[in-house]
C-alpha cells in the first residue's frame, strides 16, 4: 500500500478529473507509459502447428538484448500510438513525445497522464532538443503525474497489457520484429476504435481511501 499523503490525493484527483473530461480534439487526454522488452531467439528451429499436432518450441533460448516499447493511448477516442526504441533514455522519451504531438497538429493542448519515471518530465525535452523546439513542444503539453507508487491509475498500463498478451508474448529476437508486430496490432486496434472503459472515479477514491478525506474535512 503506497503512503497516503495530501500529494497522493491531489495527484489522484487530478488524474481522475482528466478521465472525466469528454473526448476533445482540441485538448485530448493521452496516457503514456513504456515497457522494457527482452529480445529472445530460438536455439532450435520451432515446429509449426499442423492438424492434430500443436506447435512445439524448445524451452532453451538465446538472449539478444533489450528494447523499450513506448505506448500512448487516447482512451475515449480509441486511438493509440506505439514506438519501439533501443533504449529508454531521456532522448528516447523526448522523441516519442515529439512524434506523438505531431499526430495531433490541431490540438492546442495535450494532457499527458504518466507515471514518475525519472525521464517523464520536461527536462528530457530541454536536454534533447534546441531550446526553441523544446519550448514550442512544452507549450502544448500539460503534465498529469500519477501519485508515486500508484501507476495503476495510468490507463496506458492497460493498453500495454493488451499489447503484450496479443502480440508480444512470444520470442522476438530483433527490434524490427517487435516494431512490426506492435505496429500491426496497434493498427488493428485503432481500426476497431477500441476504447478503455475506466470506472474508478472520485466517489470510489473516497471509499477506497477514506483516511485521505477524513484528513481533508478535518482540516
Q: Which pLDDT tens digit goes with each residue over 103-158?
A: 999 999 999 999 999 999 999 999 999 999 999 999 999 999 999 989 999 999 99
Tell me the residue length of the chain. Answer: 219
Contact 146, 116 (CB under 8 A): yes
Q: Which pLDDT tens digit goes with each residue over 178-188?
A: 999 999 999 99
The residue to which cell 533460448 is assigned: 61
Contact 17, 37 (CB under 8 A): no
Prediction pTM value: 0.86
Amino acid at each position: 500500500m503506497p503512503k497516503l499523503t495530501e500529494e497522493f490525493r491531489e495527484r489522484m484527483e487530478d488524474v481522475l478529473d482528466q478521465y472525466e473530461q469528454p473526448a476533445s480534439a482540441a485538448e485530448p487526454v493521452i496516457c503514456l507509459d513504456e515497457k522494457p522488452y527482452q529480445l529472445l531467439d530460438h536455439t532450435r528451429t520451432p515446429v509449426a502447428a499442423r492438424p492434430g499436432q500443436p506447435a512445439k518450441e524448445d524451452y532453451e533460448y538465446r538472449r539478444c538484448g533489450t528494447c523499450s516499447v513506448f505506448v500512448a493511448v487516447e482512451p475515449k477516442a480509441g486511438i493509440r500510438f506505439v514506438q519501439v526504441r533501443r533504449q529508454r533514455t531521456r532522448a528516447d522519451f523526448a522523441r516519442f513525445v515529439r512524434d506523438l504531438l505531431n499526430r495531433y497538429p490541431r490540438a492546442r493542448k495535450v494532457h499527458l497522464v504518466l507515471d514518475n519515471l525519472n525521464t517523464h518530465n520536461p527536462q528530457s525535452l530541454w536536454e534533447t532538443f534546441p531550446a526553441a523546439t523544446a519550448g514550442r513542444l512544452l507549450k502544448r503539453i500539460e503534465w498529469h503525474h500519477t501519485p508515486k507508487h500508484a501507476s495503476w491509475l495510468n490507463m496506458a498500463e492497460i493498453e500495454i497489457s493488451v499489447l503484450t498478451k496479443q502480440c508480444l508474448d512470444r520470442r522476438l529476437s530483433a527490434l524490427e520484429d517487435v516494431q512490426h508486430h506492435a505496429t500491426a496490432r496497434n493498427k488493428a486496434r485503432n481500426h476497431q476504435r477500441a476504447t478503455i472503459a475506466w470506472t474508478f472515479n472520485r466517489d470510489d477514491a473516497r471509499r477506497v481511501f477514506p483516511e485521505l478525506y477524513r484528513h481533508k474535512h478535518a482540516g
